[in-house]
Structure 1
Amino acid sequence: MGGRLSGEASPDGAPSGDKGLPETGTDLLADVSLPAAVIHEPALAHNLAWMQRFAEAHGAYLAPHGKTTMAPALFQRQLDAGAWGITLATAPQCRAAFAAGVTRLLMANQLVGRANMTIVAELLAAGAEFCCVVDGADNIRELGAFFAERGQTLDVLIELGVPGGRTGCRALEQVEALAQRIAAEPALRLIGLEGYEGVVQAADPVSAVRDYAARLVEAARRLDRAGHFPVETPIITAAGSAWYDLVAEVFEASGITARFTPVLRPGCYVVHDHGIYREAQQGVLARRPALHEGLRPALEVFAQIQSLPEPGLAIAALGKRDIGADSLPVPLRRFREGGRADQPLDVTGWRVTRLMDQHAFLALPAGGGDVCVGDMRVGDIVAFGASHPCLTFDKWRRVLRVDGHLAVQEVMETRF
């Protein structure tokens, strides 16, 4: 999978409305219309192999959450690396992934609304292996009636939540009651349990996450003892991008992997970040020193300095329409336009202080904002790191994959 290496025209010959594409060649520092979202191949390859090894070392399967990137080319890379399937959040996301060749779809969300059910019915008819989560009797009844009308069977997972959290049953007794309701719906088949530990809030989050994963294991065992799973190896699945090591640890230590198919669902690992997930990874490495090196940030947004209006201030052509704004972007490296990848310039002390729709305010060290002082120039290219990659990917219809020399190797589409 991939795309054009030219931004001049779309496949139908019409001018492209996409931003951040190669225009005159493949050199990121000379030929690309900036700003551009960039994935570095060396870090990407490292992350794909690292997380796959981690899952396999714990007897688990990997179903990366595709909502992070919604990039079919990255889905394929994850599958090629050994992923069991791809997790999605919505029916349209599932349809986009299936159209790109993903056949095993885990929708870690409730399927509600007849229009969305219709999308899933079409996917099932086309041969997709699909499951979604349920946490309430009304939804079970509606799903049962809808798919019975079509003569189809929908695989479902019961979701276990936490008090005060997001979706999911709050008590194990609710889980057991829902299992009985599912058994009464001929068009539904219960194939496992699902949870998401990222909603757990506690003064001691490590212990709380471990406790939550243990409750998920207990719920799965209760249903299994009661004969509620009409499949040979039910699924037990959890694990986002922050606490996957704790979930994997509990699943493995419980011995449940001998009976169940354990599935981990981190999504942000594929490109990692320079913010919240970098901090989370530091926690993983502190808990698991034997891992040595962790994930590497692979996603950056390159933009140019467009103005030096006063001393100590530079304005970059980068804004909320280009990069996630959960926290302010981080200046990482600087280059001359047309310069070389192996000749970065200093950004020590640079700091983004404000982000508008399409402008970033950069506070510079003393003298750095005066065009007559230092080596700062309008047109300089700055690589910015972001926190929470999901909210950067969804701002781009095309993302560039580059090699270690910043040569564009692939233009990857997103399907948001």
Structure 2
Amino acid sequence: MAPHSTLESPGSQDKGSLGKSTLDKGTLETGRDLLADVSLPAAVIHEQPLAHNLAWMQNFAEQHGAQLAPHGKTTMTPELFRRQLDAGSWGITLATLPQCRAAFAEGATRLLVANQLVGHANMAIAVDLIRAGCELYVTVDSAENVADLGEYFAKAGVTLRVLIEVGIDGGRCGCREDEAITELARQIRHLPGLMLAGLEGYEGVVHGDDPIAGIRAYAERLVTSVKRLAQEGLMDVESPIVTASGSAWYDLIAEAFRDGGLEGHFTPVLRPGCYVVHDHGVYREAQKGVLSRRPDLHEGLRPALEVYAQIQSLPEPGLAIVAMGKRDIGIDLLPEALVRYREGSNTDSPLSVDGWKVVKLMDQHTFIELPQHAEGVQVGDIIAFGTSHPCMTFDKWRQLHLVDENLQVLDTWKTCF
């Protein structure tokens, strides 16, 4: 049983939770000029591509007969959760119970945890969320975990919705064999604290010489398995969930759900997260693959997240040092210099970064190799950087600036990592 409520001060015990310090009052910079009035480095979201991405992915899901539950751990930004839900999202996916607590406190009431729920302290958070009205789903993949959850939630007098995770050999979590899925479903049926609500999977762990064929087969296995369990009467809900999809192969999962005979009897749910701001790296490349497979999708997603920073030193010919580093931007791939401005100028006066190459990042310094033809480079110049894998940039910031096409700050949003 939960010894006390864990919802009294949401996020208060979590890493990076925001207090009342004046340092957190990012809204003081709302309505200002990013190139003149905002302390840099700063993480920036562009309104126009953001709005495009929200509408694009929601429309994509609906066209494939699926619901959308974006992975909120990508951004942990309540304002983005609200915009995703306002655009039509079915719910928000998260990775941990503290993340769920933070999202619920900001108004997200249907939450899907794409991880196994372990540890009684985490179970206590789940109990409090359910009692407070949260429609919470978690994944399971073992008899031991199911037994522990069943006992804990039965004693607490609440029912936990669970999804059996379908795994693959050499992958991450999840039942490897179909027989194990069925056995786990039968076990759940006999536990008063649990309700089997469907199946969950993640295709990003599928690799090999032909990943497309492997992912299609994995998606078909998800569809076949959820239909089999429903036919055997092992599901505890009227419209069982079947869910998968990251931000790289969502088209393959959506097609399998659309063509799998699920309509009217099941709830297919897609869970991409990075789509909301896209990127200039791994997901830009992944998007090329999606569009090559699906030319009917036309333009696709647009990068919306950038980090703006200033040149702080030109210590020798051919080298610029920028006041930005690993603490400010993701490093799955080195950042990409996109455009340069003079401090205090406007968007009508962009300067070239042609041939500029980021070669090294330290904690708070970026090394840029300048081409011989680079001219007029000055200390104080502002550079917009593209990033790869937005998850690894969002978690470095306590606030983000939403800007229009003229780099005027429209709003400043907190994160709740």
Same fold by TM (over 0.5)? Answer: yes
Give the number of equivalent residue pairs.
Answer: 400
| TM-score, with length taken from structure 2 | 0.94
The question of whether the paired residues in 1 share the 8 Å contact of 2:29 and 2:409 is answered with no
1:87 maps to 2:93: yes
1:234 maps to 2:240: yes
| Structure 1 residues without counterparts, runs of 5 or longer | 1-9, 369-373
Please state how far the C-alpha of 1:255 moved relative to its aligned partner: 1.3
How far apart, CA to CA, are the structure 1 residues paired with 2:321 and 2:54? Answer: 35
Going from structure 1 to structure 2, the CA distance change for 1:362 and 1:290 (only over 3 Å counts) comes to same
The question of whether the paired residues in 2 share the 8 Å contact of 1:197 and 1:239 is answered with yes
* Aligned pair partner of 2:79 in 65, 73, 76: 73
SS of match in other structure, 1:145: helix
* Aligned pair partner of 1:331 in 337, 343, 355: 337
The question of whether the paired residues in 2 share the 8 Å contact of 1:331 and 1:347 is answered with yes
* Aligned pair partner of 2:295 in 275, 281, 289: 289
Counterpart position of 2:122: 116
| TM-score, with length taken from structure 1 | 0.94
How far apart, CA to CA, are the structure 1 residues paired with 2:27 and 2:334? Answer: 24
* Aligned pair partner of 2:185 in 176, 179, 202: 179
Please state how far the C-alpha of 1:258 moved relative to its aligned partner: 2.9
Counterpart position of 1:59: 65
Deviation sequence 1:167-195 (CA, Å, 0-9, x none): 00001111000001111111100010000
Opposite residue 326 of structure 1, the aligned amino acid is: D
* Aligned pair partner of 1:133 in 136, 139, 143: 139
How far apart, CA to CA, are the structure 1 residues paired with 2:278 and 2:80? Answer: 13
Please state how far the C-alpha of 1:375 moved relative to its aligned partner: 1.1
* Aligned pair partner of 1:41 in 21, 35, 47: 47
The question of whether the paired residues in 2 share the 8 Å contact of 1:22 and 1:33 is answered with no
How far apart, CA to CA, are the structure 2 residues paired with 1:21 and 1:356? Answer: 30
- In the TM superposition, 1:9-408 aligns within 5 A as 12=20, 14-16=21-23, 26-366=32-372, 368=374, 374-408=375-409
The question of whether the paired residues in 2 share the 8 Å contact of 1:67 and 1:390 is answered with yes
Going from structure 1 to structure 2, the CA distance change for 1:25 and 1:53 (only over 3 Å counts) comes to closer
Counterpart position of 1:3: none
Opposite residue 68 of structure 2, the aligned amino acid is: L
SS of match in other structure, 1:218: helix
Deviation sequence 1:26-46 (CA, Å, 0-9, x none): 100000000000000000000
How far apart, CA to CA, are the structure 2 residues paired with 1:17 and 1:229? Answer: 46
SS of match in other structure, 1:274: coil
Opposite residue 23 of structure 2, the aligned amino acid is: S
Opposite residue 256 of structure 1, the aligned amino acid is: L
Opposite residue 44 of structure 1, the aligned amino acid is: L
Please state how far the C-alpha of 1:367 moved relative to its aligned partner: 5.4
How far apart, CA to CA, are the structure 2 residues paired with 1:70 and 1:341? Answer: 29
Deviation sequence 1:199-235 (CA, Å, 0-9, x none): 0011111111000000111111111111001211010
How far apart, CA to CA, are the structure 1 residues paired with 2:156 and 2:328? Answer: 43
The question of whether the paired residues in 2 share the 8 Å contact of 1:58 and 1:252 is answered with yes
How far apart, CA to CA, are the structure 2 residues paired with 1:22 and 1:149? Answer: 48
Please state how far the C-alpha of 1:22 moved relative to its aligned partner: 6.0
SS of match in other structure, 2:36: coil
How far apart, CA to CA, are the structure 2 residues paired with 1:11 and 1:174? Answer: 46
The question of whether the paired residues in 2 share the 8 Å contact of 1:333 and 1:347 is answered with yes
How far apart, CA to CA, are the structure 2 residues paired with 1:34 and 1:189? Answer: 49
Please state how far the C-alpha of 1:15 moved relative to its aligned partner: 3.7
RMSD: 1.4
Going from structure 1 to structure 2, the CA distance change for 1:365 and 1:188 (only over 3 Å counts) comes to same
How far apart, CA to CA, are the structure 2 residues paired with 1:294 and 1:375? Answer: 36
SS of match in other structure, 2:35: coil
Please state how far the C-alpha of 1:24 moved relative to its aligned partner: 9.6
Please state how far the C-alpha of 1:257 moved relative to its aligned partner: 2.6
How far apart, CA to CA, are the structure 2 residues paired with 1:46 and 1:311? Answer: 41
Please state how far the C-alpha of 1:11 moved relative to its aligned partner: 8.4
The question of whether the paired residues in 2 share the 8 Å contact of 1:25 and 1:32 is answered with no
How far apart, CA to CA, are the structure 2 residues paired with 1:330 and 1:228? Answer: 50
| Structure 2 residues without counterparts, runs of 5 or longer | 1-17
How far apart, CA to CA, are the structure 2 residues paired with 1:174 and 1:67? Answer: 29
Opposite residue 190 of structure 2, the aligned amino acid is: A
How far apart, CA to CA, are the structure 2 residues paired with 1:255 and 1:411? Answer: 44
Please state how far the C-alpha of 1:292 moved relative to its aligned partner: 0.9
Please state how far the C-alpha of 1:390 moved relative to its aligned partner: 0.2
Going from structure 1 to structure 2, the CA distance change for 1:401 and 1:25 (only over 3 Å counts) comes to closer
SS of match in other structure, 1:16: helix
